[in-house]
Structure 1
Amino acid sequence: MDLLQFVLNFKGTPPWLNSTAITALTDRWRPETHSFHLALGEMTVTLEDIAMISGLPIEGRALTGKVRSEGWRQRVAGLVGVEPPPWIHETKKDPRPSGVLFSWLQEHFYECPENASPAVVERYARAYLWNLLTQVV
């Protein structure tokens, strides 16, 4: 998943990887149920599993700190380079008053352009991790 640099930001050494086990699990992954289908039954990925795979700590203080809803659009722009538009439908309530819709994220970061600068690749990587952590994990 190319998360090594991300992991190394939180842990000094790369995690140990068992390539045979990873290959076996990849063959048994079912994206429609977000689980592995094994001979013993179905297995779902837990927070502890993610910690072991990524090498990220799951105990201690949260990495996010305090969450504030005001100014969230500007913070999104600082991370991915694009500011989400304000909600303009007068007859409908804003479905996400302090967050980005998944459709907006896919619309703007579905595929990184070829020959993109390192800064643009970094923005797309952030959007990919964002999607991975919110939609998959």
Structure 2
Amino acid sequence: MTATLQDVSMIFALPIKGQPVCISSDSDKWREVMIGLIGKAPTQEKMSSGATYKWIQENFSKFLEDSDEQVIHMYARAYLWYAISRTLFSDGTGRNASFMWLTLFAEWGYMHS
């Protein structure tokens, strides 16, 4: 069984029609970019660019209810990154979320501010 384009559209409420999403897989300075998008980055040196699912869960599973809008956006980006990389674009190990999927949400949140 495999997820179809229509399945993805229904699950994530994303339109099928429109401009394609094109991302760069360039991972230069990924830690700095990650900190800008979600407020922190893993410190382990083994990871080439990204984080383990465990690290994402440990750092983003709960936030304070009185968090400001910027923090809410960071946690939402981390959640979407986790969901997308775990369900649709999983790596061969099944343990790691690639940084490039987080970059999909770089502009998200700023459009509505």
TM-score normalised by length of structure 1: 0.54
TM-score normalised by length of structure 2: 0.63
Answer 1 or 2: higher relative contact order, Cα 8 Å, separation at least 6.
Answer: 2
For the Cα contact (< 8 Å) 1:48–1:58, is it kept in 2? no
What is the match of residue 69 of structure 1?
Answer: 27
What is the match of residue 135 of structure 1?
Answer: 86
Map of 1:82-97 to 2, 5 A cutoff? 82-87=40-45, 94=46, 96-97=47-48
Cα distance, 1:48 vs. partner? 2.5
What is the match of residue 35 of structure 1?
Answer: none
**Secondary structure, aligned partner of 1:122:** helix
What is the match of residue 13 of structure 1?
Answer: none
What is the match of residue 114 of structure 1?
Answer: 65
- Unmatched 5+ residue regions in structure 1? 1-42, 88-93
Aligned length, in residue pairs? 87
Q: For the residues of structure 2 that align with 1:111 and 1:45, how far apart are their CA atoms?
A: 29
1:19-75 per-position Cα deviation (integer Å, ceiling 9, x unaligned) = xxxxxxxxxxxxxxxxxxxxxxxx7542321124513347754332x2112211111
Structure 1 residues 59 and 130: CA distance shift in structure 2, 3 A: same
What is the match of residue 5 of structure 2?
Answer: 47
Cα distance, 1:97 vs. partner? 0.8
Identity of aligned residues (%): 33
Q: For the residues of structure 2 that align with 1:110 and 1:83, how far apart are their CA atoms?
A: 15
Rg larger in structure: 1
Structure 1 residues 44 and 112: CA distance shift in structure 2, 3 A: farther
- Unmatched 5+ residue regions in structure 2? 89-113
Cα distance, 1:136 vs. partner? 2.5
Q: For the residues of structure 2 that align with 1:113 and 1:55, how far apart are their CA atoms?
A: 29
